[in-house]
Amino acid sequence: VSPYVLITPNETRRNQLQQIAKKELDDLERWKEEHRPGPIKLVPQRLGGKESEAQARQKQQMALMQSKYQQKHKREEYVKAKKAAEEAEILKKKATQREKAERLEVKKRQQEMLRREMFLEEQYYKTNELLNRLDLGLPKSDSCQIANRGPGSTAWMRSHTYKQALREDENRRLEEMKQEQRRK
């Protein structure tokens, strides 16, 4: 005894299904026969014009070779154009970097000159103060009040003039850049 239940097929139902399938297949075959395309009737004509087959093949071969060379030439032109564009981009970047470096160098030089001027001015005042002290026999200025250096000699005044010089320099540089832009 097996654990499966076997069901016997219904003989009449099976026969009906087979007859329907056979009828449908016959109908399909009949439809194919009715709708079969007829023979193609073309008037024979000579193809290829007046040239021979060898000439046509030679022409085809030449066209193929020329197309290969044209493609190669196009590719080379594209690569050249791309390289030129990259080169131009690199040169443009280098020029901007050079301009930045030059501006920075000019700014550094100006700051150095201003620092030097301030140092020389400070040295001049210190020397004068020392000479005055030696002449008058005054005590050291470290412990007492420093002699008056005159107008514009205080640290605030020097700082103020330094900042004003920087502002004027920046304004002048901006004006130069604006004029250069207008010229372009």
Which tens digit of pLDDT belongs to each residue from 107-143?
A: 999 999 999 999 999 999 988 888 888 877 655 555 4
Dihedral angle computed from the Cα positions of residues 27, 29, 35 and 39, in that order, rounded to the nearest 10 degrees: -160
pLDDT per position as a tens digit, 86-114? 999 999 999 999 999 999 999 999 999 99
Model confidence band, residue 153 (pLDDT cutoffs 50, 70, 90): low
What are the CA-CA distances from residue 162 to residues 36, 167, 176 (Å)?
Answer: 104, 9, 21
The residue type at 96: T
Q: How far is CA 169 from the centre of its chain?
A: 35
Cα→Cα distances 70→56, 61, 83, Å: 21, 14, 20
The secondary structure of 86-154, three-state, reads HHHHHHHHHHHHHHHHHHHHHHHHHHHHHHHHHHHHHHHHHHHHHHHHHHHCCCCCCCCCCCCCCCCCC
- Selected residue with higher pLDDT from 17 and 41: 17
Rounded percentage of the chain residues whose pLDDT exceeds 70: 89
1-5, 26-30, 52-56: range with highest mean pLDDT:
26-30
The pLDDT value recorded for residue 44 is: 78
* Residue 144 pLDDT > 70: no
Kindly give, in sequence order, each residue whose CB lies less than 8 Å from that of residue 48, ignoring residues fewer than 6 positions away. 56
Average pLDDT over residues 148-168: 74
pLDDT of residue 43: 84
Instruction: Please choose, from the candidates 111, 147, 101, 105, the residue with its C-alpha nearest in 3D space to the C-alpha of residue 126.
Output: 147
CA distances from 102 to 56, 95, 96, 105 (A): 68, 10, 10, 5
Q: Is 173 exposed, middle or buried (0-12, 13-18, 19+ CB in 10 A)?
A: middle
Does the model's pTM come out above 0.85? no
Can you give the pLDDT at residue 128? Answer: 86
pLDDT at residue 47 tops 90: no
- 148: pLDDT confidence band, cut at 50, 70 and 90? low
Of 35 and 131, more confident: 35
Hey, is 172 helix, strand or coil?
helix
Confidence of residue 149 (pLDDT cuts 50, 70, 90): low
Instruction: Provide the 8-state DSSP code for 50.
Output: T
